[in-house]
């Protein structure tokens, strides 16, 4: 039989043995105030899968009509603004045995409610993976750089991966630099619009537009990828009433370069005449499909054997 271990030194109870132990209660308004006092204001855009043009669920092709409203396969509508704290916003990639692991993640801690007349005094916030958030204050410089190669297209706006807010340099495959204002302009949607008779032109060997490279700045934003704490319930005391109450979210976010597939996103009624989203949409094409173009040769009999 094991011997009992005797207590050594002075002892103290974690919970007192005498008197009434006070009930511990979460003060949720104070928690909201703590978050908003250290946070910045974000715009919240809610996501939902785009059904436009689909015949059946799960369709990849949209044979019914062109979906010029979706982005990353989602439709977005503005839900409101909230003041939250963003932590651990990083950028980087690590090589591993299975490929490349992207660690470009961060965490966001929110209050329970949107900002209405003040801080956290509006409707309750509901987040879902795929939602995106933007910094609301336009006076804060949140621009980040990106570079990519593009193909010259003279009959339409050339669309970059992200809406361009400032072009740093543009040079084509012949090492010719082009100047903004003289050779091209940046549209309100953040696309490149070449002026008539300007640009890299068509490569006579390929019959396609020449390749050019750009380095530019765009406004950083984030997407919700995981709800670390979605439904959290704790006990609170209001007056003499003890009750359960839902507590705030904590979520994981990633930067926009994880979701960089920016599809045709025309101005629908939700986006129309809204300054805050003008640089995040791409208008539908205004050119014809060139119906008088020569037919594509698909049969061997169509090929000139000479």
Q: Do β-strands 233-238 and 132-135 pair in parallel, antiparallel, or remain unpaired? A: unpaired
Mean pLDDT of 249-268: 65
Lowest mean pLDDT among 115-119, 123-127, 217-221, 291-295: 291-295
pLDDT at 298: 59
Using an 8 Å Cβ cutoff, are 254 and 88 in contact? no
Question: Where does 198-280 show beta strands of DSSP type E?
Answer: 211-219, 222-229, 233-238, 241-246, 250-255
pLDDT band at residue 247 under the 50/70/90 scheme: confident
Instruction: Give the residue, 171 or 162, on which the prediction is more confident.
Output: 171
Predicted confidence (pLDDT) per residue in 49-85, tens digit:
888 777 777 665 555 544 445 566 788 889 999 999 9
Which residues, including other chains, have CB under 8 Å from residue 258's CB and lie 6 or more apart?
A: 102, 104, 223, 225
pLDDT of residue 179: 95
Instruction: Write down the pLDDT at residue 4.
Output: 79
CB burial of residue 58 (10 Å; 0-12, 13-18, 19+): exposed
> Does residue 270 have a pLDDT over 50?
no
Average pLDDT score over residue span 84-94 = 71
pLDDT of residue 164: 92
Percentage, residues of the chain above pLDDT 90: 27
Strand, helix or coil for residue 161:
coil
- CB 217 within 8 Å of CB 186: no
Q: How many residues does the chain have?
A: 306
**Which residues have a Cβ under 8 Å from the Cβ of 209 and sit 6 or more positions away?**
151, 152, 153, 154, 200, 201, 202, 203
Q: Which CA distances in Å does 147 have to 99, 189, 212, 226, 268?
A: 23, 18, 11, 28, 29
* Cα(29)–Cα(303) distance, integer angstroms: 76
Q: Residue 274 — very low, low, confident or very high, per pLDDT cuts 50/70/90?
A: very low
């Amino acid at each position: 039989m094991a011997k009992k271990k005797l207590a050594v030194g002075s002892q103290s109870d974690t919970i007192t043995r005498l008197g009434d132990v006070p009930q511990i209660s979460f003060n949720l308004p104070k928690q909201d105030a703590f978050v908003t006092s250290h946070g910045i204001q974000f715009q919240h855009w809610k996501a939902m899968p785009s059904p436009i043009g689909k015949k059946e669920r799960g369709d990849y092709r949209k044979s019914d009509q062109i979906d010029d409203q979706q982005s990353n396969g989602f439709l977005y509508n503005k839900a409101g603004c909230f003041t939250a704290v963003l932590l651990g916003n990083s950028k980087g990639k690590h090589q591993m045995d299975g490929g490349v692991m992207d660690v470009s993640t961060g965490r966001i801690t929110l209050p329970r409610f949107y900002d209405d007349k003040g801080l956290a005094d509006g409707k309750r916030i509901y987040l879902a993976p795929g939602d995106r958030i933007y910094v609301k204050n336009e006076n804060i410089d949140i621009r980040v750089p990106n570079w990519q190669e593009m193909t010259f297209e003279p009959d339409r706006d050339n669309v970059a991966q992200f809406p361009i807010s400032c072009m740093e340099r543009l040079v084509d495959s012949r090492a010719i630099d082009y100047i903004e204002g003289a050779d091209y302009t940046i549209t309100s949607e953040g696309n490149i619009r070449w002026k008539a008779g300007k640009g890299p032109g068509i490569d006579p060997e390929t019959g396609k537009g020449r390749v050019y490279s750009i380095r530019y700045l765009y406004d950083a934003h984030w997407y919700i990828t995981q709800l670390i704490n979605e439904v959290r319930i704790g006990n609170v005391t209001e007056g003499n009433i003890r009750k359960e109450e839902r507590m705030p979210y904590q979520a994981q976010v990633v930067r926009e370069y994880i979701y960089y597939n920016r599809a045709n996103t025309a101005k629908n009624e939700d986006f129309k005449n809204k300054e805050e989203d003008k640089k995040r949409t791409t208008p539908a094409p205004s050119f014809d499909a060139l119906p008088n173009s020569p037919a594509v040769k698909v049969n061997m009999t169509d090929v000139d054997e000479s």
